[in-house]
Structure 1
Amino acid sequence: MKYPISPDLVAEKNDQLTPDLQKDFDALGEQLERRGLNIQALTEQAEAFDIAVPSWGTGTGGTRFARFPGVGEPRNIFEKVEDCAVINQMSGCTSEISPHFPWDAVDDFTELKAHSDQYGLGWSSVNSNTFQDQPDQERSYKYGSLSHADAAVREQAVAHNLQVIEWGKQLGSKVLTVWVGDGSNHPGQQHFQRAFERYLASAKAIYQGLPNDWEMHIEHKMFEPAFYSTVIQDWGSNILAAMETGERCKSLVDLGHHAPNVNIEMIVSRLIQFKKLGGFHFNDSKYGDDDLDSGSLHPYQQFLIFNELVDAEHRKQEGFAPAYMLDQSHNVTDPIESLINSATEVQRSFIKALLVDRNALENYQNDNDAIMASNTLKAAFNTDVSPILAMARKNKNAAIDSLATYRASGYRQQAAKARPDTGGSRSGIV
């Protein structure tokens, strides 16, 4: 397998850190043993955890006002794959890429698949784009796509999604993710019910072209680019659309696409209960769809979400197999470093949720003992599982100290020389 960073460098850095890591690991193991938990089993689960990286996240993102690109940004999907390989080599838990089309479309998908294979990377959900116009596009999405009043525009948007499925099949994907920016900015601009009816008809047309072993994930967003109304604005419209569309159509939850203070973990529980949880786009936010690094602001909320996910696994709930993906793109950090950090923080929330004493929690819930139920969750959340995560990385030949090893490699500086700025990078989102 090909590695973008020298495995010898990773091994050298790991050798320096292993003695202290072993001491921390053993100490945590003794603590967890007193709680009836096996640190080796938890480490194996950490090793098995995986979350997909968004291809667009490897480039510097921006705001509606400006974008400040960094040096050595990937200029095409092949270079994005190389950066994703770095993220996986350092974190040990990001072995799949989620591409966005037509941004990542190529003439020869066999060549692209071979390129990712040599790095040991697979392909997660494929994402369509009908929220912006492309240079060769016949009809505009200015006033909507799948819900547009003009049938010809809707047909164009449906055709694009069907094309994305064909591209995804060549990469080995099994999931199509659909998000649209359709909505309105003025009262009276759009008939709410007719717009939703048109969306449902378009979604069903896409679903008809879905291979039998694929799923279709619908993503909702409360606002932006439409600020008065959005066609798929919350989990309610999301699950209604998924239920209307078909059994293999499910809801995708982006953590930044909700109103402030919404109880996202309860939404997750509801979607699990009705077998409609397709997956997650993990990120963090302060005001809206900020796409900040996962766990940077609300680590406890992220833990509570994983508490519901682990509970579903514990209860062996039917149809539970959500896909996990990062979805972030900001403009003040090295994207590789941010994605490494985010992947680690999501993995951290997963492992902490495994520490919850499920039997004790259920008994406290049945006894209406609010304080002890809450403290049971806090006991898991407040446990520092860093030695487990680091040992999992070591066992997978990833980097014990991911960021320090990445910086020591000089990868970004080398990329800057190999990828001179052309002013036309298609990475990141503005």
Structure 2
Amino acid sequence: MDRTEKAFQALLAQEIETPSWAYGPSGTRFQVFHIPGEARNVWEKLEDAALVHRLTGLAPRVALHIPWDWVEDWHGLRVFAEERGIGIGAINPNLFQDGDYRLGSLAHPEARVRSKALAHIRECLEVMRATGSRVLSLWLADGINYPGQDSFRARKQRLLEGLQELCASLPQDVRLLLEYKFFEPAFYATDIPDWGTAYALVQRLGAKAQVLVDLGHHPQGTNIEALVAFLLDEGALGGFHFNGRKYADDDLIVGSINPYELFLIYHELVTADEEGGVAGETARRLVFMLDQVHAIEPKVEAVILSLLNCQEAYAKALLVDREALREAQEKGDVLLAHRILLEAYRADVRRLLAEVRQAKGVPVDPLRAYREGGYYEEAVRRRG
């Protein structure tokens, strides 16, 4: 098959989880701006997520955050989702809002709090069993604000012990994706501040644990596509939280600030998939998720646009002439290799994406279909 036909087939199979928290009220540290018609509970979040999937064909699963999305009947929630054509994706424990976690969770100085954190994660494993989820996505806000507040090495040891205990209790078919973050809410030192620390930890945890890369969780100037390539080659990359940022963890619509970076990340993933080996196998098992907080945007439209930006970046990455690129790289032809990437990035993929959407049975322009379909007005009428 030529590159366009291979791209068409790959785009048909593309899937990205949407996060439940993208559909409900959200904001900044200063204010939550309520958008008319936004989802008020997890049931309405699933309704919105199902609509997004019907319009895009890209988002068959929804990631949940516990206890934000807590219900008494998890089997009923699973059935509710499946009746609307979607499933439950990654489960995200909340280890940062309980008052006991002021000084951390798994790295907390008190054994009682560490045990409480593990108990909550095990509770989330029960949620996974009931909903059919196979991915536990773990981000810890643990860290310290002042020099001398705690011992760096003691915190590292407590954290590792907790993660090892957790991994020993994971069901065989469940994966742990370990996230990292450069700073915030701890401002002096974060216990898992970067991809290297997360990689070192998962190396100690065994095959069930891998690194999750959030595009907003890095110092300015970090070459994310390079670290993605490294983790792929090590078989240690488990998935992504896609978003966009200008300064820090802004959680903007993915591709809205630096679409070229998104393209280059997808290029590394497609290259690994085509070349095979450990990196290729790793690339084919990745979990793709959005992780965005829409403070001022209409929720459903923001999610749709994010998905379409990912679809476009993936399409362009699939069109890279990798044989020519390898030849240029082997010859040391710097500018030709660079131009080959730019040609794919500048490609007009609108016709290809229209054909993909037609084959999926979804609107050629999902955003326009949403705006003209009366969905927003109906949500406002029902929800206020």
1:369 maps to which of 321, 333, 350? 333
Give 1:131's aligned amino acid.
Answer: F
Q: Tell me the distance in 1 between the aligned counterparts of 2:93 and 2:71.
A: 15
1:78 to partner: Cα distance: 0.9
1:39 to partner: Cα distance: 3.4
Q: Tell me the distance in 1 between the aligned counterparts of 2:8 and 2:193.
A: 39
Give deviations 1:172-214, integer Å, cap 9, x for gaps.
1111011010111111112111111111111111111111111
1:38 to partner: Cα distance: 4.9
Superposition TM-score, scaled by structure 1 size: 0.86
1:41 to partner: Cα distance: 3.7
- Runs of 4+ that moved beyond 6 A: none
Structure 2, unpaired ranges of 5+: none
Give 1:56's aligned amino acid.
Answer: W
Q: Tell me the distance in 2 between the aligned counterparts of 1:128 and 1:390.
A: 38
2:75 maps to which of 110, 117, 138? 110
Moved more, 278-287 or 115-124: 115-124
1:312 corresponds to which residue? 272
Q: Tell me the distance in 1 between the aligned counterparts of 2:292 and 2:351.
A: 26
Q: Is the 8 A contact 1:281 1:326 kept in 2?
A: yes
SS of 2:342's equivalent in the other structure is helix
2:88 corresponds to which residue? 123
Higher RCO by CA contacts (8 Å cutoff, separation 6 or greater): 1
Give 1:224's aligned amino acid.
Answer: E
SS of 1:99's equivalent in the other structure is strand
Give 2:96's aligned amino acid.
Answer: F
Matched, 1:174 2:138: no
Q: Tell me the distance in 2 between the aligned counterparts of 1:88 and 1:54.
A: 13
Q: Tell me the distance in 2 between the aligned counterparts of 1:39 and 1:315.
A: 18
Give deviations 1:221-280, integer Å, cap 9, x for gaps.
001111111000000111011111121100000000000110000100111111100000
2:257 corresponds to which residue? 297
Q: Tell me the distance in 2 between the aligned counterparts of 1:299 and 1:370.
A: 22
CA RMSD of aligned residues (A): 1.2
Superposition TM-score, scaled by structure 2 size: 0.96
1:245-260 aligned at under 5 Å gives the runs 245-260=205-220
Q: Is the 8 A contact 1:183 1:190 kept in 2?
A: no
Matched, 1:389 2:357: no
SS of 2:288's equivalent in the other structure is strand
1:280-359 aligned at under 5 Å gives the runs 280-318=240-278, 319-320=281-282, 321-359=285-323
1:351 to partner: Cα distance: 1.4
1:71 maps to which of 32, 36, 45? 36
Matched, 1:62 2:27: yes
Give deviations 1:80-110, integer Å, cap 9, x for gaps.
0000011111111111111111111211111
Give deviations 1:294-349, integer Å, cap 9, x for gaps.
10011100111111100110111324111100110121211111110111111111
Q: Tell me the distance in 1 between the aligned counterparts of 2:102 and 2:3.
A: 55
1:400 corresponds to which residue? 364
Q: Is the 8 A contact 2:3 2:319 kept in 1?
A: no
Q: Is the 8 A contact 1:59 1:329 kept in 2?
A: no
Matched, 1:237 2:197: yes
SS of 1:352's equivalent in the other structure is helix
| Aligned residue pair count | 380
Q: Which of the two has higher C-alpha Rg? A: 1
1:86-235 aligned at under 5 Å gives the runs 86-133=51-98, 140-235=100-195
Q: Tell me the distance in 2 between the aligned counterparts of 1:89 and 1:200.
A: 42
Q: Tell me the distance in 1 between the aligned counterparts of 2:367 and 2:374.
A: 11
Q: Tell me the distance in 1 between the aligned counterparts of 2:4 and 2:339.
A: 22
Q: Is the 8 A contact 1:352 1:381 kept in 2?
A: yes
Give 1:417's aligned amino acid.
Answer: R
Q: Is the 8 A contact 1:281 1:324 kept in 2?
A: yes
Pick closer, same or farther for the CA change 1:42–1:130 going to 2, 3 Å: same
Structure 1, unpaired ranges of 5+: 1-35, 134-138, 421-430
Identical columns (%): 40
2:380 corresponds to which residue? 416
Q: Is the 8 A contact 1:215 1:248 kept in 2?
A: yes
Give 1:104's aligned amino acid.
Answer: D
